[in-house]
Amino acid sequence: MSIKSFLIGSPIETVHEKHERLSKVMGLAVFSSDALSSVAYGTEEILFALVLGGAALLNDLVPIAVAIVILVAIVATSYYQTIREYPSGGGAYVVAKDNLGDYPGLIAGSALLIDYVLTVTVSVAAGIAAITSAFPVLLSHTVLLCLLSILVITIINLRGVRESGKIFSFPVYLFIGSILLLIGASFLKSFSAPPVQYQELKGTVSNVLPIFIILRAFASGCSTLTGIEAVSNGVRAFKPPEARNAGITLVWMALILGIMTLGIAYFAHYYRILPNENETVLSQLARTVFSKGVIYYTIQFATSLVLILAANTSYQDFPRLSSIMAGDRYLPRQLMNRGDKLVFSNGILILGFLSALLIMLFRGETHLLIPLYAVGVFTAFTLSQAGMVRHWIKRGGKGWLRGSVINGAGMVTTAVVLLIIAAEKFSHGAWIVLIAIPCLVLVTRKVHNHYLSVAQQLSMECITDIKEFGHHSVIVPVSGMQQAVLGAIKYSKALSDDVVAVYVCLDTVETEKMKGKWDKFCMGVPLVILESPYRSVVEPLIDYIDEIRNRYKDGVVTVVLPEFVPSKWWHHLLHNQTALFIKGVLLFKKGVVSTSVPFHLRG
Helix, strand or coil for residue 465? coil
* Position 228 pLDDT exceeds 60: yes
Q: Which of 250, 245, 215, 246 is nearest to 75 (CA)?
A: 250
| Dist CA 126 CA 373 (whole Å) | 13
Answer for the pair 70, 416: CB distance below 8 angstroms, yes or no.
Answer: no
Q: Which stretch of 43-57, 186-200, 435-449 has the lowest confidence by average pLDDT? A: 186-200
Check residues 590 and 8 and name the one with the higher pLDDT.
590
Answer for the pair 315, 154: CB distance below 8 angstroms, yes or no.
Answer: yes
Instruction: Let me know if residue 371 belongs to a domain.
Output: yes
| Dist CA 376 CA 422 (whole Å) | 10
Question: pLDDT for 539-571, tens place per residue?
Answer: 899 999 999 999 998 899 999 999 888 877 777
Residues 442 and 515 in one domain: no
Instruction: Let me know if residue 299 belongs to a domain.
Output: yes
Answer for the pair 597, 488: CB distance below 8 angstroms, yes or no.
Answer: yes
Going by pLDDT thresholds of 50, 70 and 90, the confidence category of residue 74 is confident
| Dist CA 20 CA 26 (whole Å) | 11
What CATH number does residue 255 fall under? Answer: 1.20.1740.10
Those residues whose C-beta lies under 8 Å from the C-beta of residue 23, and which sit 6 or more positions away, are 238, 239, 245
Q: Which stretch of 9-23, 175-189, 328-342, 544-558 has the lowest confidence by average pLDDT? A: 9-23
* Position 241 pLDDT exceeds 70: yes
Amino acid at 99: N
Q: Is 472 exposed, middle or buried, given 0-12, 13-18 or 19+ CB atoms closer than 10 A?
A: middle
Q: Which of 148, 176, 179 is nearest to 253 (CA)?
A: 176
| Dist CA 48 CA 127 (whole Å) | 18
DSSP 197: P
pLDDT number for residue 347? 92
Q: Domain range holding 591? A: 472-600
Q: In percent, how much of the chain has pLDDT > 90?
A: 25
Residues 479 and 446 in one domain: no
Residues 333 and 481 in one domain: no
Check residues 452 and 533 and name the one with the higher pLDDT.
452
Instruction: Let me know if residue 349 belongs to a domain.
Output: yes
Helix, strand or coil for residue 477? strand
Q: Which stretch of 266-275, 317-326, 477-486, 562-571 has the lowest confidence by average pLDDT? A: 562-571
Instruction: Give the DSSP H/E element, type plus range, for residue 585.
Output: helix 578-586
Q: Which of 456, 477, 447, 467 is nearest to 562 (CA)?
A: 477
| Dist CA 457 CA 153 (whole Å) | 42
Q: What is the mean pLDDT of the chain?
A: 84
Residues 342 and 382 in one domain: yes
DSSP 194: -
What CATH number does residue 542 fall under? Answer: 3.40.50.620
* Position 252 pLDDT exceeds 90: yes
| Dist CA 68 CA 551 (whole Å) | 75
Instruction: Let me know if residue 465 belongs to a domain.
Output: no
Please report, for residues 153, 307, 388, the alpha-carbon distance to residue 149 in angstroms, rounded to integers and kept in the order given.
Answer: 6, 11, 37
Report the DSSP beta bridge partners of residue 529: 503
Answer for the pair 297, 279: CB distance below 8 angstroms, yes or no.
Answer: no
Strands 472-478 vs 498-505: parallel, antiparallel or unpaired:
parallel
Helix, strand or coil for residue 203? coil
CB atoms within 10 A of CB 511: 14
Instruction: Let me know if residue 437 belongs to a domain.
Output: yes
Please report, for residues 78, 105, 421, the alpha-carbon distance to residue 72 in angstroms, rounded to integers and kept in the order given.
Answer: 10, 23, 16
Going by pLDDT thresholds of 50, 70 and 90, the confidence category of residue 475 is very high
- Section 229-249 average pLDDT: 85
Instruction: Let me know if residue 399 belongs to a domain.
Output: yes
Question: pLDDT for 94-130, tens place per residue?
Answer: 889 989 999 999 999 999 899 888 888 887 887 787 7
φ, ψ of residue 563 in degrees (nearest 5): -145, 120
* Position 200 pLDDT exceeds 60: no
Residues 378 and 484 in one domain: no
Helix, strand or coil for residue 599? strand
Residues 485 and 442 in one domain: no
Instruction: Let me know if residue 561 belongs to a domain.
Output: yes
* Position 510 pLDDT exceeds 70: yes
* Position 92 pLDDT exceeds 90: no
Strands 498-505 vs 527-531: parallel, antiparallel or unpaired:
parallel
Q: Which of 39, 66, 363 is nearest to 226 (CA)?
A: 39
Helix, strand or coil for residue 214? helix
Residues 53 and 147 in one domain: yes
* Position 338 pLDDT exceeds 90: no
* Position 180 pLDDT exceeds 90: yes
* Position 500 pLDDT exceeds 50: yes
Answer for the pair 150, 359: CB distance below 8 angstroms, yes or no.
Answer: yes
CB atoms within 10 A of CB 496: 16
Helix, strand or coil for residue 328? coil
pLDDT number for residue 466? 75
Query: Is the CA virtual torsion 235, 238, 241, 245 positive or negative?
Result: negative
Per the structure, the count of domains in the chain is: 2
Answer for the pair 52, 203: CB distance below 8 angstroms, yes or no.
Answer: yes
Residues 446 and 557 in one domain: no
Question: pLDDT for 291-336, tens place per residue?
Answer: 888 898 899 888 878 877 777 778 888 998 999 999 999 999 999 8
Q: Where are the beta strands (DSSP E) in 173-236?
A: none
Q: Is 470 exposed, middle or buried, given 0-12, 13-18 or 19+ CB atoms closer than 10 A?
A: exposed
CB atoms within 10 A of CB 288: 18
Answer for the pair 64, 355: CB distance below 8 angstroms, yes or no.
Answer: no
Answer for the pair 377, 224: CB distance below 8 angstroms, yes or no.
Answer: no
| 90 torsion bin: left (phi>0), alpha (psi -120 to 50), beta (else) | left
Instruction: Let me know if residue 488 belongs to a domain.
Output: yes
pLDDT number for residue 206? 47
| Dist CA 374 CA 418 (whole Å) | 8
Answer for the pair 312, 168: CB distance below 8 angstroms, yes or no.
Answer: yes
* Position 132 pLDDT exceeds 60: yes
Span between the terminal Cα atoms of the chain, in Å: 21
Residues 157 and 212 in one domain: yes
Residues 442 and 477 in one domain: no
pTM for the predicted model, two decimal places: 0.76
Residues 215 and 86 in one domain: yes
Residues 39 and 149 in one domain: yes
Largest CA distance in the chain: 105
